[in-house]
Structure 1
């Protein structure tokens, strides 16, 4: 399939939007394939043919990531600004030293799940945070084990240790019983800790916003109920006043009839009788 790059900025924006929509799910699949291959390589530590196969799969997925990056850059009008906003993606496809950062590509899966869910906004945010935490913990454990396992004086030697270290790091607990000793492992630790702090901040802000919105909704309902009660009370008073006026009107009508009867009787008695 030939990819044509339009020159008009508006057409570029439309093309970029269409490409992003059509490529999102395929990129998620590629990310999961990479995650599976990388998991097998780190946890099983294969040798021989199996090692070559996993390396080939990882290389092919990296090539797909690179193609996606190039196409997106070609369809982007403000490339410098976009590059600054996607420094991680740039480092992943350009700098081989950041090989483990390719694991961040699997986060694209969360965007699809988050968009597809029908939950309310607050629930969707919490679902996104929980999914992100689990994914970052898992990928962080893989990355640090890959970086630390063969290092001198390393204390993260198996996936269990790595998973425990990733959990206490992303939650900002940091017991210190497991820690990276390599530069790459410490870089991963910094990224995981920053991600954990960011997620905690997001949870705090989301929960605060949700609580304030809930309280505001409750207060609005209470005000509406109070206003309804006031209107009901006012209506009762108006109806009672109307009944009083109706009774007074009936009394006035009866009194008027009584006075007319008395006046008619007097007029009849004043008429002289004929001889």
Structure 2
């Protein structure tokens, strides 16, 4: 069943504004963590921006739901969007707003046909590194036994965790920090699988294309060979038909 044109138009028009709001969310989320001694008014303003961005994505989901012709089918196909919208309402933690916004941005980015898989993967890696570093820094910085105290430590830890290298020089000590580590490791493995599958699919498609081109060339050569053979046969027949018949000699004794 085809989607309503009005929903498609809505998605096309809101694609870039929502991505811009996601960037604004990233800034609002990062400021209180990078500047722990910031003015309370600034921190409250950043919190308002975070909730406002999440609210914009929630409104976007509701509008797309209303504009869908088959709403039950829309909910079934976009259940992850619904979970991301409801997640911060279950328990109003800042980290849940981060996860929900990342999920919603990712879902909307995949809908854009102009965004290629490579660009999406690169954006996902950058987003996970940034948010993972900020989240673990916010959790581990004040931990008594924590060893992730600066943004540089958090970035290094996120990079080694996503690549599953795990040097062990920096590691989370709190329960929530370890949950973040598990999520980051799984995300890194998933993204690596996506990249590997994309490269393999590219090579397979390339080989199939070359094989199909070779088959087309072989078929064209065979067809040309058959045409040349047929032309030679026709030329031989025409030459035989056009050849003069030799006259009989008279017998002088007859």
2: CA distance, partners of 1:232 / 1:14? 50
Moved more, 210-219 or 168-177: 168-177
Match of 2:217 in 1: 225
Structure 1 residue 136 corresponds to structure 2 residue 133: no
1: CA distance, partners of 2:238 / 2:182? 83
Counterpart contact for 1:141–1:165, Cα < 8 Å: yes
Structure 1 residue 102 corresponds to structure 2 residue 97: yes
Quick one: structure 1 residues 231 and 20, their matched pair in 2 at CA, closer, same or farther if it must change by over 3 Å? closer
Match of 2:25 in 1: 34
Counterpart contact for 2:50–2:97, Cα < 8 Å: no
Alignment of 1:115-194 (within 5 A): 115=112, 117=114, 124-194=116-186
Structure 1 residue 243 corresponds to structure 2 residue 235: yes
Quick one: structure 1 residues 223 and 140, their matched pair in 2 at CA, closer, same or farther if it must change by over 3 Å? same
Alignment equivalent of 2:188, drawn from 196, 200, 207: 196
- CA deviation after TM superposition for structure 1 residue 227, in Å: 0.8
Q: Which has the higher helix share?
A: 1
TM-score, length of structure 2 as denominator length? 0.79
**Secondary structure in 2 matching 1:96:** coil
Alignment equivalent of 1:44, drawn from 27, 35, 47: 35
Match of 1:121 in 2: none
- CA deviation after TM superposition for structure 1 residue 157, in Å: 0.9
**Secondary structure in 2 matching 1:179:** coil
Counterpart contact for 1:42–1:142, Cα < 8 Å: yes
Match of 1:89 in 2: 85
**Secondary structure in 2 matching 1:196:** helix
2: CA distance, partners of 1:240 / 1:188? 77
TM-score, length of structure 1 as denominator length? 0.74
2: CA distance, partners of 1:42 / 1:14? 42
Counterpart contact for 2:84–2:104, Cα < 8 Å: no
**Would you say how many aligned residue pairs link Structure 1 and Structure 2?**
246
Counterpart contact for 2:25–2:49, Cα < 8 Å: yes
Alignment of 1:61-72 (within 5 A): 61-65=53-57, 67=59
2: CA distance, partners of 1:108 / 1:62? 9
2: CA distance, partners of 1:52 / 1:198? 35
2: CA distance, partners of 1:24 / 1:94? 27
Quick one: structure 1 residues 189 and 88, their matched pair in 2 at CA, closer, same or farther if it must change by over 3 Å? farther
Report Cα offsets for 1:24-73 as digits up to 9, x if no partner: 44433332222111111111221343333333333443454555566667
Larger Rg: 1
Q: For structure 2, which runs of at least 5 residues remain unmatched after alignment? A: none
Structure 1 residue 56 corresponds to structure 2 residue 52: no
Quick one: structure 1 residues 182 and 50, their matched pair in 2 at CA, closer, same or farther if it must change by over 3 Å? same
- CA deviation after TM superposition for structure 1 residue 194, in Å: 1.3
